[in-house]
Amino acid sequence: MLRQASRLLARRPILAARTRAFSTDLSAADQTADAAFADAWNKVIPNMDPPKTPLSFMQPRPPTPSSIPSKLTVNFVLPYASELATKEIDMVIVPATTGQMGVLPGHVATIAELKPGVLSVHEGNEVTKYFVSSGFVFIHANSFADIIAVEAVPLDRLDANLVQKGLAEFTSKLSSATTDLEKAETQIGVDVHSALNSALTG
């Protein structure tokens, strides 16, 4: 078995040399895959149309333009609703774990985890702010951004009293927490409530 190892290892470079296409450049590739299937289908069942494969329903992502586009296209989705769907905006500021990150058209492709904080969408002169509980933002090279969050509420739906109460409650629990898990939970509580607090006051 080990005698074969050197032969197998020699095969590796060939695979590595073939570069993988980015998903943004795939539009030509899936056409050929469907065409082969369609041919085979038509040979066997000429009367019926071939069924559509999932690939044909998906719109390929627009390729990266050579010059920076003027608007950022944003998809802001929650598990139960789609807040913004391919909306063209000027800038979005996301609360990444590494700090508030401003995303403009032409931003470098990034994946960022979000911390509880304020997400603001800037379109012309209007700014829409949401409080996001946590999630991710995927910024693609072609100025598309996908923001996914579990909960996102406009700031005016938050009750300041409940936030203060929660903050006080969790801060006091922090000293009395015993197990690691409890400490983590109370720390999360403190983080979320202080973020809520600064969102409402700041």
Partner 1 sequence: MASNAAVPFWRAAGMTYITYSNICANLVRNCLKGPYKTEALTREKVHFSISKWTDGKPEKPTLRSDSPEE
Binding site for partner 1 (CB under 8 A): 80, 97, 116, 131, 133-135, 150-151, 153, 157-159, 162-163, 166, 180-181, 183-185, 187-189, 192-193, 196
Nearest Cα to Cα of residue 112 among 123, 98, 102: 98
The H-or-E segment that residue 16 falls in is helix 2-17
- State CA 22 to chain mean position distance: 17
Which of residues 30 and 185 has its CB atom nearest to partner 1 in the complex?
A: 185
CB neighbour list of residue 180: distance below 8 Å, 6 or more residues apart: none
Q: Is 66 helix (H, G, I), strand (E, B) or coil?
A: coil
Distances (CA, A) of 38 to 27, 29, 30, 34, 57: 17, 15, 12, 6, 15
- Shortest distance, CB of residue 193 to partner 1, whole angstroms? 7
Q: How far is the CB of 116 from partner 1 (least distance, A)?
A: 5
Question: Could you tell me the smallest distance in angstroms from the CB atom of residue 165 to partner 1?
Answer: 9
Q: Is 89 left (phi over 0), alpha (psi -120 to 50) or beta?
A: beta
Size (the chain), residues = 202
**Nearest CB to partner 1, comparing residues 142 and 197:** 197
CB nearer to partner 1: give 126 or 180. Answer: 180
Of 54, 134, 119, give the one whose Cα is nearest residue 84. Answer: 119
At closest approach, how far in Å is the CB of 85 from partner 1?
Answer: 20
Quick one: which H or E segment has residue 102? strand 99-103
Give the three-class secondary structure for 70.
coil
Our CB check for partner 1 shows the closer of 48 and 81 to be 81
Is the CB of 140 or the CB of 193 nearer to partner 1? 193
CB of 80 to partner 1, least distance (A): 6
**Smallest separation, CB 31 to partner 1 (Å):** 37
Between residues 141 and 177, which has the closer beta carbon with respect to partner 1? 177
